[in-house]
């Protein structure tokens, strides 16, 4: 008979320490996840408060132009608040399901600008893509500005038509975002980049933030295309 005896006390102690440390790390991660969710929730709520304040201030104005400016500001605040709402609902808290986001944003814009009753349809064709907050917010504000501009100015009564929002992969880590409408378009000889408009100024500013190439098409329909890298 052969008997071998080994002392495994140290091994058991090591395994216990590793298990305890692992559980400590998991608990810390769960705590940080809860904290991040709370941050996104509070940011969204604070932005909604700002939107409500703008609405209250606008109600005291008699000038239609001033009211319109406040309404545009509310739309921009809503676009950012919606990003944080989607982040709050996202499993990893750092990326937005941007296809879902675009549908929610465009639906809200169409309702606020009475698009359906004016015979203007909005079509969203966005491939499933997850964007970080650094990419999602500039993209969201570009869409907000251009869709709002199309719904307000491209279809004077009784003209009807459609606004198309597309986003798809175009090779490698590149994405292409296109907002197109078949409305009246820009007047002949007018360069969209040279138009003195806060909305278009913001569009090109956010494109710079994305480090996006911008292409503006005037015929047969008006289209703005932005090509940028998915991640830096």
Query: What are 89-144's pLDDT values in tens digits?
Result: 877 777 889 999 999 999 999 999 999 999 999 999 999 988 988 899 999 999 99
Q: Output the pLDDT for position 8.
A: 67
Q: Which residue has the tokens 């199309």?
A: 150
Report residue 78's pLDDT band, with 50, 70 and 90 as the boundaries.
Answer: very high
- Mean pLDDT of all residues in 171-195: 84
**Top-level class of domain 95-232:** alpha beta
Q: Output the pLDDT for position 1.
A: 78
Q: How many angstroms separate the CA atoms of 47 and 82, rounded? A: 9
User: Is the predicted pLDDT of residue 155 greater than 80, yes or no?
Assistant: yes
Please give the structure tokens belonging to residue 187: 């007047």
Q: How many angstroms separate the CA atoms of 157 and 154, rounded? A: 10
Give the Å distances, CA to CA, from 231 to 61, 133, 211, 216.
43, 11, 11, 23
**Considering the entire predicted model, what is its pTM?**
0.81
The per-residue pLDDT for range 7-20, each reduced to its tens digit, is 666 677 777 777 77
Residues 6+ apart with CB under 8 A from 180: 163, 164, 166, 217, 221, 222, 223, 224
The per-residue pLDDT for range 190-221, each reduced to its tens digit, is 777 777 788 889 999 999 999 999 999 888 88
The dihedrals phi and psi of 120, each to the nearest 5 degrees, come to -110, 125
Spell out the domain ranges in the chain.
11-93, 95-232
* Count of H-run helices and E-run strands, the chain: 5, 7
Whole-number percent of the chain with pLDDT over 90: 47
Of residues 201 and 88, more confidence is placed in 201
Q: How many angstroms separate the CA atoms of 62 and 52, rounded? A: 18
Beta strands in the chain (DSSP E): 95-97, 120-126, 130-132, 161-169, 174-181, 213-217, 222-229
């Amino acid at each position: 008979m052969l008997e071998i005896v080994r002392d495994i006390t140290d091994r058991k102690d090591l395994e216990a320490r590793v298990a305890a440390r692992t559980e400590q790390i998991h608990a810390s991660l769960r705590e940080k996840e809860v904290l991040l969710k709370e941050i996104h929730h509070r940011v969204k709520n604070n932005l909604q408060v700002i939107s409500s304040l703008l609405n209250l201030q606008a109600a005291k104005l008699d000038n239609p132009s001033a009211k319109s400016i406040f309404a545009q500001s509310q739309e921009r605040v809503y676009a950012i608040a919606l990003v944080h709402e989607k982040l709050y609902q996202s499993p990893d808290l750092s990326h937005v399901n941007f296809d879902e986001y675009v549908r929610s944003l465009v639906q809200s814009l169409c309702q606020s600008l009475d698009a359906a009753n004016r015979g203007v349809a909005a079509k969203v064709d966005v491939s499933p893509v997850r964007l970080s907050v650094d990419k999602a917010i500039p993209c969201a504000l570009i869409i907000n500005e251009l869709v709002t501009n199309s719904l307000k100015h491209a279809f004077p009564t009784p003209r009807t038509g459609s606004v198309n929002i597309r986003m798809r992969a175009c090779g490698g880590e590149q994405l292409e975002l296109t907002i197109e409408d078949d409305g009246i378009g820009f007047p002949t000889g007018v360069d969209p980049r040279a138009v003195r408009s806060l909305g278009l100024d913001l569009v090109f500013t956010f494109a710079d933030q994305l480090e996006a190439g911008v292409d503006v098409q005037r015929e047969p329909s008006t289209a703005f295309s932005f090509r940028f890298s998915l991640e830096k």
